[in-house]
Structure 1
Amino acid sequence: MINIKTATYQWLMLLALTSLSFGLAETDYLGKNILLPVLLATLIKGSIVIDRFMALRHVAGPWRIIVLTWLLAVLGTIWFSFTRI
């Protein structure tokens, strides 16, 4: 069971990372300059959602690995798409 205090801190972390990503996207920097920080923030946010809010942290079997692999595949595809330009 998730402690309410822990869940609140994680929710605040999600808000902070979302604000950071939005702030970076609104700057005058171009794609490759902000790509890595935004993708890293997205990876951290995805991990929090997968572990805590999807409750896959203590799940037996391959479910957590499957979802994390999917997240890494999506982020890798985005990275590849932007770096090939």
Structure 2
Amino acid sequence: MTNTASMRAWLILLALTGLSTGLAETHLSGLAVLVPVLLATLLKGRIVIDAFMGLRHAPILWRITVLGWLLTVVGLIAFAFHISQN
């Protein structure tokens, strides 16, 4: 990965983190915050997996395994939120 691509990925991660932090500061609750934050988390995870873990060109099994782990964690967070709301 070139320095330019790394910098671009880092800036996107920084912007998504700022978005998530900004949403937290709005004092909204429920799905109004959960959905955008979890989507930002998925996108950030995908960037880290592809760009910084170097799995963009890895065998598909590795990519599916790591992405599956990310989806499982985010899904469990969403499920825990759903359970806590009932």
- Name the TM tier (shorter chain): over 0.9
Q: Cα deviation per residue 1:24-67 (whole Å; 9 max; x = unaligned)?
A: 11212013220000000000000000001000111125111101
Counterpart residue number, 2:73: 74
Q: Give structure 1 stretches of 5+ with no counterpart.
A: none
Counterpart residue number, 2:47: 48
Letter in 2 for 1:48: I
Counterpart residue number, 1:38: 37
Deviates more, 1:37-46 or 1:2-11: 2-11
Letter in 1 for 2:67: L
Percent identical pairs in the alignment equals 56
Letter in 2 for 1:21: S
Counterparts in 2 of 1:1-12, with a 5 A limit?
Answer: 2-12=1-11
Q: How far apart, in 2, do the equivalents of 1:78 and 1:31 lie?
A: 13
Instruction: Give the paired residue count.
Output: 84
Letter in 1 for 2:43: I
Letter in 1 for 2:45: G
Counterpart residue number, 2:15: 16
TM-score of the pair, normalised by structure 1:
0.92
Please provide the CA RMSD for this pair.
1.0
Secondary structure of the corresponding residue to residue 62 of structure 1:
helix
Q: Give structure 2 stretches of 5+ with no counterpart.
A: none
Of Structure 1 and Structure 2, which has the larger fraction of its residues in helix? Answer: 2
TM-score of the pair, normalised by structure 2:
0.91
Q: Cα deviation per residue 1:1-32 (whole Å; 9 max; x = unaligned)?
A: x1211111110000000010011112120132
Q: How far apart, in 1, do the equivalents of 2:55 and 2:47 lie?
A: 10
Structure 1: which 4+ aligned runs deviate by more than 2 Å?
none
